Structure 1
């Protein structure tokens, strides 16, 4: 990136509240290397307006995975992500930066800011759904649930209560499968009468790489351009966001429709 490039630095309000020092450092590094316009939106609407009015400036988001997802979603709806590139300086707790790490964004504030100035653009695929949402890295159907470990005292109490209420101990494992109908490019992979434990999808190499795990059977690996899931109300997890319950959703691969500025080393290791 040359000194004559102009940056639109959009600082997510959550990043400002959570880590003002990292925000300050990122601003200093970026301002020292390029002409910058700083935007401090107070919410999603102002965030969208700032991005829409970027003109010829290169957008740089300071924030977590949700801020990145918001920016890419807006660009995809404009259908201008194919022409431009987005940069991210990740600011937030580690559990809110899983997508950024998976995409190759440096975890450190200074390293990420320097990558904005000196890195190169990598064209990336995404999954677009029929409700206007996008998936940048990983889709889980149904949504995977990550539960925080219970405190020992609470856990022991729960176990004692279960032993008291359940006598004798149950001998059968409850059916934990999900009843879903899954189609890939119109081909039926599983119907609602065959329970599945779950499914993971990633957009890679211009196709959706799908891993379907039937209950009590080996995983099934498939690639497709379009994926449709139907069934009783289910939630899905797109990157770090969990949806509301739906009964049907279709995802389509959009190859290379957005660009992310990454360090040259990250690009070399992905080839």
Structure 2
């Protein structure tokens, strides 16, 4: 039987507080514990999943990680035997399985990012058994346990919802124990991070009005913007989380397992008639193996798998076909 690690990311890891589900409420008449007394208490979906796994004979460990080093300690359990070349490599036939309890796509991304940093060999030590279209080996599959198994707001567009993965803790447990492994593409970037779903570049001012910015946007050899035009937004998509923005369809066929990245830019175009000037939005799209954005402004806001930041220099993404994987729904018995 398997050893299963149920990993939850604590506060400060793109996550809300670990409190909730009857655990924390600041103390008081409701009987809920103060946050400091239950920071290490697993959430109810985690406990429910652990119960099903234990009943099925798995050896279960629950871990709450609040730092990269603590995530790395968990991931080390997925290492394979030593290699002659000295590289750290995942165990392709291991008996340890990982479940990540996620309150957001950004939390799942944080774990996959650490997997990439653990197993991607430096270019100077690229092994002969690595596929020619990849910079890292097949990463170990992950069981995804949404911390709101009912879905909640936005459930149709989070990554688990997009992929049709189980949300009920019992179904997640059975997927980890007996479900098929579904391999998915991964976007790496030259900033050292990864993207599972997509990135939305562009933002709005304090009144909510979209702010234009300029930047050169390329997909393989195609130029979507030369850097001289005002842009409202740019989407780099591996999935469909940013397929539509403010009701405007941007991505038309993003598929997280087709080996290509889809990119779209939105720019305002002024059409002049003999009576008046009218503004319309133009969308340009491209698909390929790699994409780059070179902003002209000092800072352009963006969201990457739901995590906010500022784009301050050229950023390039490239696709890693089938690099990461999830446990899918177990077949009906």
Q: TM-score, normalised by structure 1?
A: 0.76
Instruction: Indicate the residue corresponding to 1:23 in structure 2.
Output: 46
Q: Report the count of equivalent residues.
A: 237
Q: From 42, 57, 73, give the equivalent of 2:113.
A: 73
Instruction: Indicate the residue corresponding to 1:91 in structure 2.
Output: 147
Query: What is the CA RMSD across the aligned residues, in angstroms?
Result: 2.9
User: In 1, Cα distance between the equivalents of 2:193 and 2:308?
Assistant: 12
Q: Does 243-252 or 96-105 show the bigger shift?
A: 96-105
Structure 1 moving runs of 4+ over 6 Å: none
CA displacement 1:158-189 (0-9 Å, x = unmatched): xxxxxxxxxxxxxxxx8842212111114322
Q: From 233, 242, 252, give the equivalent of 1:198.
A: 233
CA displacement 1:108-133 (0-9 Å, x = unmatched): 33332332223211110021110111
2:267 is the alignment partner of 1:228: no
User: In 2, Cα distance between the equivalents of 1:33 and 1:175?
Assistant: 52
User: In 2, Cα distance between the equivalents of 1:192 and 1:102?
Assistant: 33
Q: Which has the higher contact order (CA 8 A, sep 6+)?
A: 1
Q: Counterparts of 1:158-237 in structure 2 under 5 Å?
A: 176-203=211-238, 204=255, 205-216=258-269, 217-231=281-295, 232=297, 233-237=299-303
8 Å contact from structure 2 (residues 217, 291) kept in 1: yes
Instruction: Indicate the residue corresponding to 2:165 in structure 1.
Output: 105
Q: From 8, 12, 19, give the equivalent of 2:9.
A: 12
2:313 is the alignment partner of 1:247: yes
CA displacement 1:87-121 (0-9 Å, x = unmatched): 11111584586222223222333332332223211
Instruction: Indicate the residue corresponding to 1:49 in structure 2.
Output: 73
User: In 1, Cα distance between the equivalents of 2:179 and 2:204?
Assistant: 34
Q: Counterparts of 1:101-140 in structure 2 under 5 Å?
A: 101-140=161-200
8 Å contact from structure 1 (residues 61, 87) kept in 2: yes
Unaligned runs of 5+ in 1: 149-173, 266-271
Deviation at 1:243, TM superposition (A): 2.0
8 Å contact from structure 2 (residues 203, 211) kept in 1: no
Q: Which has the higher helix share?
A: 1
User: In 2, Cα distance between the equivalents of 1:143 and 1:111?
Assistant: 38
User: In 2, Cα distance between the equivalents of 1:40 and 1:230?
Assistant: 40
Q: TM-score, normalised by structure 2?
A: 0.63
Unaligned runs of 5+ in 2: 12-16, 22-42, 80-93, 121-135, 239-254, 270-280
Instruction: Indicate the residue corresponding to 1:269 in structure 2.
Output: none
Instruction: Indicate the residue corresponding to 2:97 in structure 1.
Output: 58
